[in-house]
Amino acid sequence: MNPERCDGIVLAAGAGRRYGMPKVLAEGGAWLRTAVTALRAGGCERIFVVLGATGPARRAADGRWMVSESAGIALPADVRPVWTAEWEIGVSASMRAGLAAAAAPGISVPAGRTHGLGMEETAGHAAYQPTAPRIFDMRKTAVRNSDTETSLVRSSTMPGSAHPAGASAGADGSDGRGRDGAEILCGETGLAADGAGVMDGERAPAAFVAIMPVDTPDVGPEVVARVIAAARASESRLARAFFGTTPGHPVVLGREHWAGVRASADGNSGAGIYLRQRADMVCVTCDDLATGIDRDHPADGAL
């Protein structure tokens, strides 16, 4: 197992009022599938999808986790659904729920304000893995990250697998049991009477997590792989995609940053408050690969 492995989180809890429906349902679930594919093929192992407005995912007779039974939209295979009852608060609730799920090493916890569903261990999946690491073209340019200076890293090639930072993952602020009220159920592995259970192949949380919203459908696996590699190569273990001078997604966080992000998330700001306080975040230009534009209205849906 890669000690520098990265998990992925798709933030998909919103009601999509400007769009006219929850964006997790957009185009028959195509955006959801695109986001999951980008994370999976970009190098993420476990993938969590945070739901909210659509309600908790429901297990269908064929074993799929249904986001919407009426629309026939299910989560892609091997994806772990998480549900936050506090989705109306904004992105901060989704961020806390997703990070709490990622921080738990496959152990169920008592019920709380947010609920995760479908945490069964699944088989591995194919991901983008270059045959050899590539080296960044480190043309650094100063850009503004709110009130702090950050470095802009442009890579003209797909960066490869990890350039380990040499440090083990730091504390994530979690006792491994999904704080912030996240309840992570163990799927078909069986639960004790008190709700406690352990997944097959229990393991520690990942060293990194890549965070994507569901509404940036032109962001593909090349973008995800580039930002993950930048985070692994940096001392800060903190990287974000930039499109031109505009910050975008994914955001990749080393585990030592998870507690800070969870504590600072507020209202409709997820990781942004924390990131604006960091002068060491690596900004990775990805405008050669995608626009990174989030789609807020139905007319924005066409790629």
Q: Specify which residues 254 forms β-bridges with.
A: 208
3-state secondary structure of 121: coil
CA angle 290, 221, 67 (to 5 degrees): 100
- Which pLDDT score, from 0 to 100, does residue 299 have? 72
Residue 95 per-residue DSSP state: H
Query: Distance between CA atoms of 117 and 115, rounded to whole angstroms?
Result: 7
Terminal CA-CA length for the chain: 36
Domains of the chain listed by start with CATH number = 6-300 (3.90.550.10)
CA atoms within 13 A on the CB side of 78: 15
What's the pTM value of the predicted model, to 2 decimals?
A: 0.73
Q: What is the pLDDT along the chain (303 residues), one digit of tens a residue?
A: 566 999 999 999 999 999 999 999 999 999 999 999 999 999 999 999 999 999 999 999 999 999 999 999 999 999 999 999 999 999 999 999 999 999 987 533 333 333 333 333 223 333 333 322 222 333 333 333 333 333 444 433 333 333 333 333 333 444 333 333 333 332 222 222 222 233 445 578 999 999 999 999 999 999 999 999 999 999 999 999 999 999 999 999 999 999 999 999 999 899 999 999 999 999 999 999 999 999 988 876 544
Q: For residues 7 and 208, is the Cβ–Cβ distance under 8 A?
A: yes
- Which pLDDT score, from 0 to 100, does residue 56 have? 97
Return the amino acid letter for 16. G
3-state secondary structure of 271: coil
Residue 107 per-residue DSSP state: B
- Which pLDDT score, from 0 to 100, does residue 297 have? 83
Q: Which long-range contacts (CB under 8 A, 24 or more apart) does 259-264 make?
A: 259/171, 259/172, 259/173, 259/174, 260/173, 261/95, 261/99, 262/95, 262/96, 262/99, 262/100, 262/173, 262/179, 262/180, 263/173
Residue 24 per-residue DSSP state: G
3-state secondary structure 231-267: HHHCCCCEEEEEECCEEEEEEEEEHHHHHHHHHHCEC
- Which residues, 6 or more positions from 272, have their beta carbon under 8 angstroms from its beta carbon? none
